[in-house]
Chain A
Amino acid sequence: MMIRIRFHGRGGHGIKTASRIAGTAASMEGFNVQDFPLYGAERRGAPLTAYTRISDGTIFERGIISSPDIVIIADDSLIEDPMADPLNGADTNTIIIINTNRPHDISEGLAARGRVFLIDATEISMSVIGKGSAISAAMGAAACRVTGLINKATVEKAVVKELTSIGISSEEIIRKNVEVAGTCFDSLPSFEIITRAETSQLLTKTIVLPYEAPAISTPNVIASGNIIERKTGKWRTFRPVINYDKCNHCWICFVWCPDGVISLDDKEFPHIDYDHCKGCLICYEECPIKAITVERESSSNEQ
């Protein structure tokens, strides 16, 4: 018996830690485990993947998991992201857990995928910890729960161990994370896992690129400022929103935006470029008259 879990998240969600929590908890229950992250050159906010294998025998398999039994998706915006492609290799037996606050939109599109389960871990985290950005304990606990192999008490022990090992020493923060883990654990059922042999590492979809003339298909190395074609707006979990009735056009949000996504109009009112805003919320934190508020990203504010 081997269970293969694949975690998808964005840098900062704590996805690597989630995979470690699942691995450590399974190890404490006497299983053999592997856990490891995979990320490219990108950073906090960019998609990344982590993997956990749990087995009652020796694990000979190596490398990434292309046919997961369980997929954990920490941010619903990743479902449509071609770089992340979290559903790749999942079949109708795969259990898919999605962290989302828009269950209606998600379940419509994914109903045919079979065993999809939605959870609002960000909300649980916000209500207990007061923050919803790092959700490693929630995602790790969700993975442990659906395997049906791991006790709640073991998950809680694994959360303490892993959060301590990444340098969190505040007992209060660890206790709250344990609470979040417990709540997520209890809110999910355990499933019967239908495991299967690992298939080949080939992509399930082959993308055929049509021929284009070199002038189109070759990167233009003398292009100036073309990075604007990369949209980093999906990195956000929360978005800053300017209240123009209050704004006194003081320039502070404009000056301190690291990415330069806030511009000023003729009347010196600031405007946020949501296609590129990464959601760091420095503008919200620094606005001296609190004319900027924070909203959780949801389908209603997608343009």
Chain B
Amino acid sequence: MESDTKYKRLKDLSREEFILPGTTVCGGCGGLEALRLFHKVLGKNVVFVNAAGCFTLLALFPYSPFRGSWLYTNMASAPAGAQGVRDALDILIASGRLKPEDDMKVVVLAGDGSTYDMALSSTSGAIFRDLDFYYFCYDNEAYGNTGMQMSSASPYGSMTTTSKPAHLSTAGTRSHKKDIFEIWRAHKPPYIATISPRHPVDLSEKVSRSMQYKGPKLFIAFSPCPTGWMYDPSLTVKIARLAVDTGIWALKEAINGEVKHTYIPSKFKPVEEYLMTQGRFNHLFYPVRQDKILEDIREDINSYWEQYKK
């Protein structure tokens, strides 16, 4: 496998841009950063099927940042939309109206609210039907577009506008982040990966590797959100790095169901270093330090990594 590696260093990345500037998403958007890197690998022949969410703002009528096509769907149906587009392309090719070399990659763009909650059923259907498509989830761990309401991707201990820390609920969000990676893996698609904009070589290599598989290719992109997580936009990359270095965001892939971690920090940093960078975790430190909750978070990280120790 090593000899197949296409991306070894930053300078292997494409200098061509496929998402043009002028979009109305926030300055410092971690999701856009990940998508920009993702698109560089896929190249220009792409059709996006976009579930409602922050990335609705990418293509704001009559403007589009994409050089290719874009289709908008509601939050629950992007994978169903992708099925329709894929079928249409296949029919055009079969009937000779589209040359096979002009074929396009169908990519679902969806946030965590769509991915973890509303579109779970239509994603399940698309994977079950072995639809040949890419799924890009920009996971900013809440419903960012509507003002940071809790989603089932919101991590335990975080504050959202619908799970504010209070006297009886000092943690803020009391539920635990849904393990969408494992939910997808149970469907046995050929390729799943987690990616982070801070690790562009790892990201590019994974997208490149996935392209050899026919069927569902699913990606969850860690997407730091300055507006919703309450930090200065310049820190997006630092926060993405801390998420990996503290073990809270595992970089991994599953090829035909077999899980492999693509980067494991030699020594995990204390998770407080990550949590303290963001306003959404402020209540764990001020006015009183919530030792019990911090211990729970550490315990979650430890038990995650424990299962992969040989």
Interface residues of A (CB under 8 A from B): 11-12, 41-46, 131, 133, 167-171, 219-221, 223-232, 235, 250-252, 254-261, 263-264, 273, 276-282, 284-286
**Shortest Cβ distance from B309 into chain A, in angstroms?**
32
List B contacts of A45 (CB < 8 A).
Answer: 26-27
Q: Contact check, A228 vs B21: say whether CB atoms are below 8 A apart.
A: yes
Q: B61 contacts the other chain (Cβ, under 8 Å)?
A: yes
Q: Contact check, A43 vs B20: say whether CB atoms are below 8 A apart.
A: no
List A contacts of B227 (CB < 8 A).
Answer: 11-12, 43-44
Contact with A285, one of B10, B64, B235, B280 (Cβ below 8 angstroms): B235
Q: Contact check, A276 vs B237: say whether CB atoms are below 8 A apart.
A: no
Interface size counted on chain B using CB atoms at 8 A: 55
Name the segment of B75-83, B186-194, B282-290 touching the other chain. B282-290
List B contacts of A276 (CB < 8 A).
Answer: 21-22
Q: B200 contacts the other chain (Cβ, under 8 Å)?
A: yes
List 9 additional A-B contacts (Cβ < 8 Å) besides A230-B63, A258-B29, A260-B36. Answer: A42-B57, A224-B64, A224-B67, A225-B66, A225-B67, A229-B22, A264-B15, A276-B21, A279-B27
Q: Contact check, B63 vs A167: say whether CB atoms are below 8 A apart.
A: no
Of listed B15, B25, B66, B279, residue having the most chain A CB within 10 A: B25
Q: Contact check, B24 vs A171: say whether CB atoms are below 8 A apart.
A: no
CA A145 – CA B59 in complex, angstroms?
42
Q: B62 contacts the other chain (Cβ, under 8 Å)?
A: yes
Q: Contact check, A224 vs B66: say whether CB atoms are below 8 A apart.
A: yes
**Shortest Cβ distance from B232 into chain A, in angstroms?**
7
**Shortest Cβ distance from B179 into chain A, in angstroms?**
27
List B contacts of A41 (CB < 8 A).
Answer: 24, 56-57, 60
Interface residues of B (CB under 8 A from A): 10-11, 13, 15, 17, 19-30, 32-33, 36-37, 56-68, 159, 164, 197, 200, 226-227, 230, 232-238, 279-280, 282-283, 285-287
Q: Contact check, B10 vs A280: say whether CB atoms are below 8 A apart.
A: no
Q: Contact check, B236 vs A258: say whether CB atoms are below 8 A apart.
A: yes
Q: Contact check, A44 vs B20: say whether CB atoms are below 8 A apart.
A: no
Q: Contact check, A284 vs B234: say whether CB atoms are below 8 A apart.
A: yes
B238 — nearest CB in chain A belongs to which residue?
A285
Q: Contact check, B234 vs A281: say whether CB atoms are below 8 A apart.
A: yes
Q: Nearest 8 pairs between A and B by C-beta?
A: A219-B62, A278-B27, A280-B28, A276-B21, A281-B234, A280-B27, A258-B33, A44-B26
A294 — nearest CB in chain B belongs to which residue?
B234
Q: Contact check, B236 vs A259: say whether CB atoms are below 8 A apart.
A: no
